[in-house]
Amino acid sequence: MTDAALFTPEDLEAGERLVLRPWQFVKGVVALDGLPDDGWTEVAFAGRSNVGKSSLINAMVRHGGLARTSNTPGRTQELNFFKPYEDKLYLVDMPGYGFAKAPKDKVETWTALIRAYLAGRPTLRRVFVLVDSRHGIKPPDRDIMKMLDTTAVPYQIVLTKGDKITVPELAAVKAKTETELSSHPAAFPIVLTTSSEKGSGMEDLRATIAALLRA
């Protein structure tokens, strides 16, 4: 199901075309000097550790093994770049933030990389900040949102694991999240709800990315 009122038919069709093309892993970046320099549009996926970033990317592009998934917090340790055939687009799977089990020096390194990338990347068109629908926005999410507000990087909240709570609960979390976003100047006001396991919300996410490419 999709909220068709949010998108043009062209964006919905373009979003579908994105996932009909082969996707591939391009590179893992551990320092800013390793970032691609071809000027392609980038959309990044950020979120607390184990929020489901890699699973969501795989579900969105219908490629179960594209982004590596793990139940171990802190498994993604790089900025992982993926691209579709023929489109000048990168999807960026970012290291999770807010975890406590990884060694402190690694946490500091990943955090510095995340902040440097989000603060100064001119080709970055939108950051999808993933939030577990069972828990809502937490302090580590607010820290990233505050930084994005300061650097004027557009971002949008995507609620993950929407199948893990009831429909009324999900609607309530979405409404509460949208209310909080009203005080954040860089936030896109519409919250997307998704389930990687059920595939719900993926059409909306694809159409959103397609619209960014068209703009």
| Number of compact structural domains in the chain | 1
Residues 60-82, mean pLDDT to the nearest whole number = 70
The pLDDT of residue 122 is above 70: yes
Please list, in sequence order, all residues whose beta carbon lies within 8 angstroms of the beta carbon of residue 2, skipping any fewer than 6 positions away: 12, 201, 203, 204, 207
Integer CA distances (angstroms), 123 to 13, 38, 85, in order:
24, 9, 19
Angle, helices 53-61/9-20, rounded to nearest 10 degrees: 100
The pLDDT of residue 8 is above 90: no
Select the more confidently predicted residue: 178 or 109: 178
Instruction: Judge contact between 46 and 131, C-beta under 8 A.
Output: no
Q: How far is Cα 5 from Cα 126, in angstroms, rounded to an integer?
A: 21
Q: How far is Cα 128 from Cα 33, in angstroms, rounded to an integer?
A: 23
Mean pLDDT score of the chain: 86
What pLDDT does 19 receive? 84
Kindly report, residue by residue over 26-47, the tens digit of the pLDDT: 999 988 889 999 999 999 999 9
Q: What is the DSSP string of the chain?
A: ---GGGS-HHHHHHHHHHHHS-EEEEEEESSGGGS--S--EEEEEEEBTTSSHHHHHHHHHT-TTSS---SSTT---SEEEEEETTS-EEEEEPPPBS-SSS-HHHHHHHHHHHHHHHHS-TTEEEEEEEEETTT---HHHHHHHHHHHHHT--EEEEEE-GGGS-HHHHHHHHHHHHHHHTT-TTB-SPPEE-BTTTTBTHHHHHHHHHHHHH-
* CATH number for position 111: 3.40.50.300
Instruction: Read off the pTM.
Output: 0.89
Residues 200-208, mean pLDDT to the nearest whole number = 93
Q: Which domain holds residue 109?
A: 4-214
